[in-house]
Structure 1
Amino acid sequence: MSKVRRAAHAGSWYSDNEDDLRNQLGTWLGKVKASHLPARAIIAPHAGYSYCGACSAYAYRQIDPTSVKRIFILGPSHHVRLSGCALSTAERYQTPLYDLPIDTKVYEELYSCASFESMSLDTDQDEHSLEMQLPYIAMVMESRRGEFSVVPVLVGSLSPEKEQYYGNVFSRYLTDPDNLFIISSDFCHWGRRFHYTYFDKSCGEICQSIAALDRMGMNIIENMQPAEFTKYLAKYQNTICGRHPIGVLLNAIETVRRNGNGYKLNMKFLKYAQSSECTSASDSSVSYAAGVLLIQ
């Protein structure tokens, strides 16, 4: 019997009822235009769907399921210390819609690099950054049910050198049109409870300062500049929880461009949102952004 990672956050972070979940995701997706098809990578948030589900739809709507056989999911580690990247010990990921099989062949290829470790099933199930992408994946890929696999990767607190290393590892998968990358990340976590209260008063209200700070980082990501993104994070300490998975993607893009194979890459953010509008020091919020990478 195959080892299954259960949907540990279903019923709390999102609905565990198949019909309710399907209707909710379908409603959000139905309100968004497929303006940037076919996505080869997306950046999507991983908070509870009541907060970020509508924003995520802007990224997921850009996926063309007919061209995807394999989905890499890169999410940050929130609960365990990790200096590299870790792979799941499960064989399938459960969702309220249907289970998603893990690509064991790609896992074998990654393990052969000797730079990937395994995470325990408990660690896997505790981590919401991977799980919150799964129902959306199941929804948009339903026409290909049973014909695609997932490659979940838990990304630790990587140095710039390690982001470059893992970016190089994943670059060859990024250029394969059968593959899709999902980068799981929220943006600024603002407020005393997050120990982050950066405020540029010249922007206006606190929420406007947060938006300007996030937009600065998003512009660097759109320009696909990993070194500049590292400098930006060092300067402003913006609490982008998926900064390391984003860094891995940016370095993978840079490797592709450096190899000069004639690929045309375009990164664009389609939606930005905040969980609430902060106007005083006692407020708090989390920012969400939906981005898409096209490769021609």
Structure 2
Amino acid sequence: MVTTHFNGLTLPRFSCFFDPYEDDLRSQLGAWLGKVKASHLPARAIIAPHAGYSYCGACSAYAYRQIDPTNIKRIFILGPSHHVRLSGCALSAAERYQTPLYDLPIDTKVYEELYSCATFETMSLDTDQDEHSLEMQLPYIAMVMESRRGDFSVVPVLVGSLSPEKEQYYGNVFSRYLTDPDNLFIISSDFCHWGRRFHYTYFDKSCGEICQSIAALDRKGMNIIESMQPAKFTQYLAEYQNTICGRHPIGVLLNAIETVRRNGNGYNLNMKFLKYAQSSECTSASDSSVSYAAGVLFIE
């Protein structure tokens, strides 16, 4: 059980996504992180999946290993809304999140800035409790940031079904935070959800097996994300309808990057995917799978 503090009250928050026992969780995350090389330090933003750790924990480690906690003071977490319809973005009403490792305080000062400069809704308690796209990032954050425990805060942002224009709007809002080395952005997203239960069965037989077609489809999208061109990513989604659940948070990040580059601040931003995985290898129409990818945005 994880608890969330709302307006000074401690409320239960149940999770079936990760082991609630601190020692087991710490050992599990540490083992995955220990197998990955820190090749693109320091990350300015990462893309990490949000399924159960038994499915995507090892993949997530490739993104989280690129975080250098030394100077980080706040971490923006942008996750897609799975349970409520939002036309914009929403902020938490909580004061802090509890994880099995330690509490993560929410940066209320940044929240005040966001409310004052742009349109944001406020998540209800039920919405915040139910949304795993934010929740699944919290233990990994606590693990990699342990040396800065008590010296950093989180900025959870629930991202709705945004139009391209709204992705640009929120990208502009977050662009000024993206250039600050005190900040880190975590974009929570799984990739292709394939199978009849997801109502998505795209299959390019020229690629070979279904799982190979899925990988080729995801790689095409990942290549576009690496090119950091939001309009092309929008076109890709319109053409293939790939069921990337975090497509809107990714779109917000790409637009923030485009704003930074357009303003000509001399930042040499680079995006690279370091790991790709699938929950299972689909070979027949009755199979299903979810894809995971770990990416990093860094400045050279």
Q: Is the 8 A contact 2:80 2:133 kept in 1?
A: yes
Shift of residue 295, structure 1, vs aligned partner: 2.0
Q: Is the 8 A contact 2:170 2:252 kept in 1?
A: yes
CA distance in 1, matches of 2:103, 2:92: 15
- 3-state DSSP of counterpart to 2:157: strand
Deviations 1:33-70 (A, max 9, x none): 00000000000000000000000000000000102110
Aligned to 2:6: none
- 3-state DSSP of counterpart to 1:47: coil
CA distance in 2, matches of 1:101, 1:86: 17
Deviations 1:247-275 (A, max 9, x none): 00000000000000111000000000000
CA distance in 2, matches of 1:211, 1:82: 30
CA distance in 1, matches of 2:269, 2:180: 13
Of 265, 271, 279, which aligns to 2:283? 279
Deviations 1:193-218 (A, max 9, x none): 00000000000000000000000000
Structure that is richer in strand per residue? 2
Deviations 1:155-186 (A, max 9, x none): 00000000000000000000000000000000
CA distance in 2, matches of 1:261, 1:113: 22
Of 150, 157, 163, which aligns to 1:153? 157
CA distance in 1, matches of 2:78, 2:109: 17
Q: Is the 8 A contact 2:228 2:271 kept in 1?
A: yes
Deviations 1:94-147 (A, max 9, x none): 100001000000000000024001001110010000000000000000000000
- 3-state DSSP of counterpart to 1:112: helix
TM-score, normalised via structure 2 length:
0.95
CA distance in 2, matches of 1:159, 1:178: 29
Aligned to 1:249: 253
Q: Is the 8 A contact 2:69 2:147 kept in 1?
A: yes
RMSD: 0.6
CA distance in 1, matches of 2:299, 2:75: 16
Structure 2: gaps spanning 5 or more residues: 1-14
CA distance in 2, matches of 1:76, 1:261: 29
- 3-state DSSP of counterpart to 2:62: helix
TM-score, normalised via structure 1 length:
0.96
Distance 1:292 1:185, change over 3 A: same
Corresponding residue pairs, total: 286
Q: Is the 8 A contact 2:36 2:65 kept in 1?
A: yes
Aligned to 2:41: 37
CA distance in 2, matches of 1:39, 1:114: 26
Deviations 1:222-243 (A, max 9, x none): 0001000000000000000000
Q: Is the 8 A contact 2:118 2:173 kept in 1?
A: no
- 3-state DSSP of counterpart to 2:186: strand
